[in-house]
């Protein structure tokens, strides 16, 4: 089940990003009524395997979430990742680099945030911002952001070689759905705090971001470190799609509980 979904959403050499033509409102053949129960089941199994991952303490899973403002990165973390034991999950929100972060290379803070053995890392934005933002806003010359593709590919490959499985999700929303969500955000006193003036200036740069994202996905999706384009106009589709792919991946990682020490046999606790 998860394998077919992965093939459908992945970016590969035979399946380019093609964001213009990938639907944002696909329901992937699912219906909303049964999706809720299905998500609960998927999250339950995710939690079961994550328990083993943490106990095994040999490999890690890194989930990278990218997408425009209001594409649902925060909602996804809240609806899907909270099903796992928080003792083994590390959620990191990457913001505009500040203070000491600006005194180092761009991967410094990123490497420090990587999940330890046994942990699941969830990144709300990531090192990909260091390619997208400087490019779209003309902050550095083209050769500076283009060479970062090479850095990022090598960095991710190193993490894979050392025991981290990486999944990268681009949450794909339409221009109109972003408008509705940003409007709702400012109109609702419960969410108005989330509004950032940069959301509006970034929205004006929509075509430039489309171009930048298309390039990022094409340049940095590889079989061992894939990007998935997740239709994200419907929150329930977004959540279920990501949860299913995470579950499928955890199954493949197949973490095992450590074997009890032989000397424990026959111990009587008094």
Residues binding Mg ion (CB under 5 A): 69, 196, 199
Integer CA distances (angstroms), 12 to 117, 145, 169, 227, in order: 28, 22, 13, 8
- Cβ-closest residue to ligand AMP? 129
Contact 29/67 with Cβ under 8 angstroms? no
Q: How far is the CB of 114 from ligand AMP (least distance, A)?
A: 16
Q: How far is the CB of 199 from Mg ion (least distance, A)?
A: 5
Give residues with Cβ within 8 angstroms of 109, minimum separation 6: 94, 97, 101
- List phi, psi (to 5°) of 90: -125, 110
Report the residue number, 181 or 244, with the smaller CB distance to ligand AMP. Answer: 181
Report the residue number, 69 or 239, with the smaller CB distance to Mg ion. Answer: 69
Among Mg ion, ligand AMP, none, residue 216 binds (CB under 5-8 Å by kind): none
Contact 247/2 with Cβ under 8 angstroms? yes
Contact 101/43 with Cβ under 8 angstroms? no
Burial readout 163-199 (b: 16 or more C-beta within 10 A, e: otherwise): ebbbbbbbbbbeeebbeebbeebeeeeeeeeeeeeeb
Among ligand AMP, Mg ion, none, residue 119 binds (CB under 5-8 Å by kind): none
Residue 88 and residue 194: Cα distance in Å, rounded? 27
Report the residue number, 95 or 262, with the smaller CB distance to ligand AMP. Answer: 95
Report the residue number, 43 or 131, with the smaller CB distance to ligand AMP. Answer: 131
Q: How far is the CB of 69 from ligand AMP (least distance, A)?
A: 5
Q: How far is the CB of 176 from ligand AMP (least distance, A)?
A: 19
- The secondary structure element, H or E, covering residue 60 is strand 60-67
Binding site for ligand AMP (CB under 6 A): 69, 94-97, 125, 129-130, 133, 196, 198
Report the residue number, 129 or 211, with the smaller CB distance to ligand AMP. Answer: 129
Q: How far is the CB of 181 from Mg ion (least distance, A)?
A: 11
Among Mg ion, ligand AMP, none, residue 129 binds (CB under 5-8 Å by kind): ligand AMP
């Amino acid at each position: 089940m998860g394998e077919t979904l992965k093939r459908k959403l992945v970016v590969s050499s035979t399946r380019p990003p093609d964001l213009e033509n990938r639907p944002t409102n696909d329901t992937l053949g699912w219906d909303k009524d049964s999706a809720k129960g299905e998500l609960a089941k998927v999250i339950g199994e995710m939690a079961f395997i994550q328990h083993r991952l943490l106990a095994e303490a040999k490999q890690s899973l890194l989930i990278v979430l990218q997408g425009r403002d209001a594409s649902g990165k925060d909602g996804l973390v809240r609806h899907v990742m909270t099903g796992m034991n928080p003792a083994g999950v590390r959620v990191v929100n990457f913001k505009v680099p500040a203070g000491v972060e600006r005194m180092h290379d761009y991967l410094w803070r990123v490497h420090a945030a990587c999940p330890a053995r046994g942990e699941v890392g969830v990144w709300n934005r990531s090192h990909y911002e260091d390619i997208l933002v400087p490019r779209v806003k003309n902050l550095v010359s083209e050769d500076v952001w283009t060479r970062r593709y090479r850095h990022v590919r090598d960095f991710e490959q190193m993490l894979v070689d050392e025991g981290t499985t990486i999944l990268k999700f681009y949450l794909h929303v339409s221009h109109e759905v972003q408008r509705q969500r940003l409007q709702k955000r400012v109109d609702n006193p419960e969410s108005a705090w989330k509004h950032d003036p940069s959301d509006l200036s970034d929205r004006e740069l929509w075509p430039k971001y489309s171009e930048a994202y298309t390039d990022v996905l094409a340049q940095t999706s590889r079989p061992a470190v894939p990007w998935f384009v997740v239709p994200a106009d419907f929150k329930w589709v977004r959540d279920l799609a990501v949860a299913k792919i995470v579950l499928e991946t955890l199954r493949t990682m197949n973490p095992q509980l450590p074997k009890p020490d032989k000397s424990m046999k026959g111990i009587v606790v008094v």
